[in-house]
Structure 1
Amino acid sequence: MNKHPEYLLNKISGPQDLKKLSIPEMEQLAQEIRTLILEKDAAEGGHLGPDLGIVEATIAYHYVFDAPKDKIVWDVSHQTYPHKMLTGRALAWLDPDHYEDVTPYSNPDESPYDYYAVGHTSTSIALATGMAKARDLMGGHENIMALIGDGSMTGGLAYEGLNNAAIKKHNLVVVVNDNQMSIDENVGGLVTALKKLRDSNGETKENPFTAMGFDYRYVADGNDIKSMIEAFKAVKDVDHPILLHINTLKGKGYKPAIDQEEAHHWVMPFDLKTDKPLAPASSAPTANSVALDVVSEEIEKGTKLMAINAAIPGVFGLDKIKNKYPDHYTDVGIAEQESVAFAAGAAKEGAVPVLFENSTFLQRAFDQLSHDVAANDLPVVMMVAGGGISGTSKTHLGIFDQVMISNLPNWIYLAPTNLAEEKAMMKWAIKQRKHPAAIKMPTKAVPENGDAQADYSKIKYQIKPGKDVAVLALGDMYAMLGEKVAHELGATLVNPVSANILDKDALDKLAKENKVIITIEDNVLDGGFGEKVASYLGDQDVKVLNYGQKRVYTDQTPLKDILKDNRLTVEQIVEDVKNA
């Protein structure tokens, strides 16, 4: 049921309706959009601060430009809720029964007003340069715009894009949405450059954008609809590259989001009256708390350890380290390539880098994982969060980390089945100084206590004997599925310990003693752990069944449906084994 039938937004089926409104009506519309963002995020969770801050600029864009002919590329696209409301998808905010109708990021399958499935950062300018070149080649004349900000300017690809955008012959507009924040505080020299521009109302001679050749424009209040309309009218159809720098307020319209920007970048469901999460935080140990405890212990005992992350300290709770041990903490900004190269440099100089990465963002640093770390065999320690099958957007899946890390030389990828094992693996990885070591942090529920080794320099499978069938359940799949499947079948249960280093002696013995070997992993199957086991056992008289996710992009698909589709339930696996 539509919660707000009286809203002006109900009359906006697309940008053509928006163009009929007066400035006061558009200001009313902005208030409505903010209310809806807050209501839906409070109920469902989602990006909050970025969307609240971009409302007026979005309204002004669709008022001035002629989408979808004119094209705007939203960097990250986690700030597209207002855009979606104005392009025929408002019901997904007006009616709670339709909250699931749209994805959280731009999505061409959803609307002709979206041009890319984008959920990662710093890509917009590079995409727009290609679009502008193709437009000119095809004889088109539409406006091409890239909107970047919210920390995305710290990513290296943003500079690569700017470098090429500045020399384009015809229309290309780069909008820098300067809200003075990333997910956490912005870092680096660009912070200084943008502040000088803001403080001088865009008139300082120390302007990196004019130095590159851009026609530079500045809007002091990017949350004023009239100012934004005037700015967009001034750049529309201009036949050369322009950089439009707009100063906006992240979280505008909701004081808690302004006062605590990091905590309100993305939110879990919360109480709008109190701003408190609906689900209180648990005091029980977690994969994060275990990792932070190890880091703290090592620093306290004198280890020259450096905790490193790429702009997502909140994902790991790293503010604890940042505040207590500032000399042992570095946030490189939204720049995963830099974070891995930074860690490699720190290791080379003798420090102990502990790199905190999110599986879904790690792909951005693949070159550094390979060339700078693996090829130089440097003892970087990497904690990987979010690696597992989930029902999230296709731009944020965490099912590729094993394929990226496991298939590079010198890396060892460890996968704990319980929190005690995670702690033991981390302590070993920090102590050893021979090779890069990554640890796949559990994303599913795992026990606090359990078996753990002290030394992982040689992988030894942990085996609980059974009969006829062996179940090799990697990492958090051990508790989630492995134990249950083994119980149903009376099977041998194996903790493989590592996603990429095989205990070949154990596999040879298991192959002789069993008719079927099952592998279960919380990742994509292709190039993963199970295929390594199957390949090794290919010439032996045993049947191998691999379970994980098929090589497809799921998109906001419920987790239970993904598991069923991949036969990742106890009942399905037991059925397959009996049929085998």
Structure 2
Amino acid sequence: MASLLEKIHSPEDIKGFGGEELDALCEEMRRVIIETVSANGGHLASNLGVVELTVALALAFSPPRDTIVWDVGHQSYPYKLLTGRYPQFSTIRLEGGLAGFPCREESEYDKFTSGHSSASISAALGVSEANFLQGKEGYVVAVIGDGALTGGLAYEGLNNAGRLHRNLIVILNDNTMSISKNVGSMARYLSYIRTKPGYIKTKNRLERTLRKIPGVGPAVASGLRSLKRSVKRIFYNSTIFEDMGFAYYGPFDGHNIKELAETLETAKLIHKPVLLHIRTYKGKGYQYAEQDPTIYHGLSGFDVTTGDTGAKSQSFSDEFGQALCSLARENPKLCAITAAMQNGTGLTAFREEFRSRFFDVGISEEHAVTFAGGLAAGGMLPVFAVYSTFLQRAYDELIHDVSMQNTKVILAIDRAGVVGEDGKTHQGVFDAAYLQTIPNVTVYSPAYFKELRLQLAYLVEQGRGLCAIRYPRGRELYKPAYFKSTTAPYSVYGSEDAAVCLVTYGRVFSFAAECKEHLEQGGLPVKLLKLNRIIPLDGQAVQEAFSCRDVFFLEEGVQRGGIGEHFSYLLEQRGFSGGFHLRAIQDPFIKHAPMFRSLEMLGLNAQGIEQFVRETLGHGKGGASA
């Protein structure tokens, strides 16, 4: 069968499709997404679940004049296929290819870059107001999942949007639970009838006519609205969206294109914010993803025929989860918190063994931190496991609700450093810089599994105040034979009298160790200083570097405000007169590429570090380098 996607250069191209063609298009989109994700990795189940919804949006609206804002954005693959990006779709998540999330630089159809949850309503409201202020035409739609609706930012957006008397359409993509329970066939019937375009037009016409009746018109119209709300309250258990100022309709079948398109056309006629509640099924159309949408949410690749996702190697997340379980068996006060990332952060076993001490608070990192502060104030020992990129959202809570309270909370910061194909929205390169601005923080950064276990146990047993342990995504890398795991603030390897000192922490230590060996094979003695505790920096560690002629600081984190800059400041305070050479990340919005490739481009792999050292010493330059 000829490809329909090859004929589509914009959403306008499907508006003349008949029902059979639309069904065939959905089937083709699913096939392309499955084949591409199987090869490139990426998000599967969430994208398969919104194929019909995306087609319905393309039928009802006219992007880019109309704006579609996807919450999180990991379900935007079908949208990319319908907005002229099918020829490049095979490059998604590959270096130089399409991003795995909406990206403003990639396409005019992506009005808002996204990768974090719960932001779509606020962003869509901003676009809507910008259109109004500039006299621009165009509808604005936010598509948000029920998971993202657990985030407080979503309700801040709803609260603000509900005060306005302009059209803003929010689509609640409910794929796991019903937020508003329907009672019987009558409720379903009312939802269906009330979303007919004829109903809305008739209702608006009737209200306008009533208001024109002298003396009693406005009162009658108001009375009818009040009666309507009372009747709806009989049939709907929850009216939270309507209480916030939205017109609520649904739930609807998210896989019925005709009904969805008709409903969207109706929503365009309502001169106030509208929330459409639709039901979809993650993984729809691929049996393995339907059976286990969690496993097939995000993958590195898989076999399409068998569904085999391949052997999974032990990761830092796994080690953390196992270590936390061991510690919890000895400490009845230890609790684990996740913000809807139980599997990703390695807490599945903890949840099974210590169910009463496990808390999944939904996608709400701000709440998670304050909740942890409350647990600590109440006498428990909370450990919040969170990806570095998502912890950024809770900066204020870390300061006000933990540090200022002087309570003990431990952060287990997963995916610290470069993460690879998920790209700039997910890079974990900011945490070390912003954490050192918070008073009384202790942060460890292990490079290996055993270190993680030792340092986590140390923080649980002896840590004070706000503590953190940060570790990278994936597996261990090269470990030199001379390496020793420790909870000491720093470790020194190599020649004590060397003129050249390499200073680093975390995963980059593996590459620095390789570089050290290559340099020494070439006759250049090197001291390798590994910072185990990066906040606060140990004064003696700074002194170890002070005795060297040239200090090379290597950091898989942002340069501005990072550990390297602070180390340089401490050296300068002591009167260091040698050369300090800093290699850190200057542009933190690192585009998607395999993790090793990203580190290579940043000059933080073994070869890049060695070249940095040789070229710097060969030119005899001092000062800072990047």
The answer for the alignment partner of 1:519 in structure 2 is 553
1:174 counterpart = 2:188:
no
1:307 counterpart = 2:319:
no
- C-alpha deviation, 1:96, in angstroms: 9.5
Single out whichever of 285-294 and 106-115 deviates more from structure 2: 285-294
Q: Secondary structure at the match of 2:555?
A: strand
The residue type equivalent to 2:249 in the other structure is: R
The answer for the alignment partner of 2:610 in structure 1 is 571
Single out whichever of 426-435 and 171-180 deviates more from structure 2: 426-435
The answer for the alignment partner of 1:211 in structure 2 is 243
Counterpart contact for 1:379–1:432, Cα < 8 Å: no
Q: Secondary structure at the match of 1:252?
A: coil
1:124 counterpart = 2:163:
no
The answer for the alignment partner of 2:201 in structure 1 is none
The answer for the alignment partner of 2:438 in structure 1 is 408
Give the distance between the partners of 1:216 and 1:11, measured in 2 at CA: 36
Q: Secondary structure at the match of 1:361?
A: helix
The residue type equivalent to 1:194 in the other structure is: S
The answer for the alignment partner of 1:158 in structure 2 is 154
Give the distance between the partners of 1:23 and 1:501, measured in 2 at CA: 64
Q: Which has the larger radius of gyration?
A: 2
The residue type equivalent to 2:619 in the other structure is: N
Deviations along 1:418-439, one digit per CA (max 9) or x if unpaired, are: 2222111100111125221101
The residue type equivalent to 2:451 in the other structure is: E
The answer for the alignment partner of 1:292 in structure 2 is 321
Single out whichever of 223-232 and 96-105 deviates more from structure 2: 96-105
Select 2:462's aligned residue among 432, 451, 468: 432
The answer for the alignment partner of 1:186 in structure 2 is none
1:477 counterpart = 2:508:
yes
Give the distance between the partners of 1:7 and 1:219, measured in 2 at CA: 33
Change beyond 3 A, Cα 1:509–1:394: closer
Counterpart contact for 1:218–1:244, Cα < 8 Å: yes
- C-alpha deviation, 1:113, in angstroms: 1.0
Deviations along 1:526-580, one digit per CA (max 9) or x if unpaired, are: 1111111111112322211112211341212455554444333133222223433
Q: Secondary structure at the match of 2:344?
A: helix
Q: Secondary structure at the match of 1:470?
A: strand
Equivalent residue pairs, number: 559
The answer for the alignment partner of 1:420 in structure 2 is 450
Select 2:533's aligned residue among 486, 491, 498: 498
Give the distance between the partners of 2:494 and 2:183, measured in 1 at CA: 65
- C-alpha deviation, 1:114, in angstroms: 0.9
Give the distance between the partners of 2:95 and 2:485, measured in 1 at CA: 44
Percent identity, aligned pairs only, is: 32
The answer for the alignment partner of 2:387 in structure 1 is 358
Select 2:364's aligned residue among 312, 331, 335: 335
Counterpart contact for 2:430–2:558, Cα < 8 Å: yes
The answer for the alignment partner of 1:542 in structure 2 is 578
The answer for the alignment partner of 1:551 in structure 2 is 587
The residue type equivalent to 2:320 in the other structure is: A
- TM-score between both structures, scaled by the size of structure 2: 0.85
Give the distance between the partners of 1:280 and 1:82, measured in 2 at CA: 29
Single out whichever of 95-104 and 170-179 deviates more from structure 2: 95-104
Counterpart contact for 1:485–1:574, Cα < 8 Å: no
Give the distance between the partners of 2:349 and 2:46, measured in 1 at CA: 24
The residue type equivalent to 1:325 in the other structure is: F
Select 1:280's aligned residue among 311, 332, 339: 311
Counterpart contact for 2:91–2:97, Cα < 8 Å: no
Counterpart contact for 1:550–1:566, Cα < 8 Å: no
Q: Secondary structure at the match of 2:165?
A: coil
Give the distance between the partners of 2:442 and 2:93, measured in 1 at CA: 46
Q: Secondary structure at the match of 2:534?
A: coil
Give the distance between the partners of 2:183 and 2:478, measured in 1 at CA: 52
- C-alpha deviation, 1:483, in angstroms: 4.5
Q: Secondary structure at the match of 1:313?
A: coil
The answer for the alignment partner of 2:130 in structure 1 is 134
- C-alpha deviation, 1:61, in angstroms: 0.8
Deviations along 1:274-301, one digit per CA (max 9) or x if unpaired, are: 1111x4123xx53223222221112222
The answer for the alignment partner of 2:180 in structure 1 is 194
Change beyond 3 A, Cα 1:552–1:354: closer
Give the distance between the partners of 2:511 and 2:183, measured in 1 at CA: 53
Change beyond 3 A, Cα 1:259–1:139: same
Single out whichever of 477-486 and 119-128 deviates more from structure 2: 477-486
1:531 counterpart = 2:560:
no
The residue type equivalent to 1:330 in the other structure is: F
- TM-score between both structures, scaled by the size of structure 1: 0.91
Change beyond 3 A, Cα 1:351–1:412: same
Give the distance between the partners of 1:150 and 1:274, measured in 2 at CA: 30
1:113 counterpart = 2:114:
no
- C-alpha deviation, 1:84, in angstroms: 0.7
Deviations along 1:44-74, one digit per CA (max 9) or x if unpaired, are: 1111111111111111111111211111111
Q: Secondary structure at the match of 1:281?
A: coil
Select 2:373's aligned residue among 339, 344, 351: 344
Counterpart contact for 1:93–1:99, Cα < 8 Å: no
Change beyond 3 A, Cα 1:198–1:233: farther
The answer for the alignment partner of 2:197 in structure 1 is none
- C-alpha deviation, 1:100, in angstroms: 6.0
Counterpart contact for 2:339–2:368, Cα < 8 Å: yes
- C-alpha deviation, 1:264, in angstroms: 1.3
The residue type equivalent to 1:503 in the other structure is: D
Spell out the pairing of 1:74-113 with structure 2 (5 A cutoff). 74-93=70-89, 101-113=97-109
Give the distance between the partners of 1:498 and 1:196, measured in 2 at CA: 54
Change beyond 3 A, Cα 1:300–1:564: closer
- C-alpha deviation, 1:482, in angstroms: 3.7
The answer for the alignment partner of 1:187 in structure 2 is none
Single out whichever of 111-120 and 474-483 deviates more from structure 2: 474-483
- C-alpha deviation, 1:112, in angstroms: 1.2
Deviations along 1:493-516, one digit per CA (max 9) or x if unpaired, are: 1111122222213322431x3101
Structure 2: 5+ residue stretches without partners: 192-234, 621-626
RMSD between aligned residues: 2.4
- C-alpha deviation, 1:23, in angstroms: 1.6
Select 2:284's aligned residue among 248, 252, 261: 252
Change beyond 3 A, Cα 1:157–1:97: closer
- C-alpha deviation, 1:302, in angstroms: 3.9
Select 2:35's aligned residue among 35, 39, 47: 39
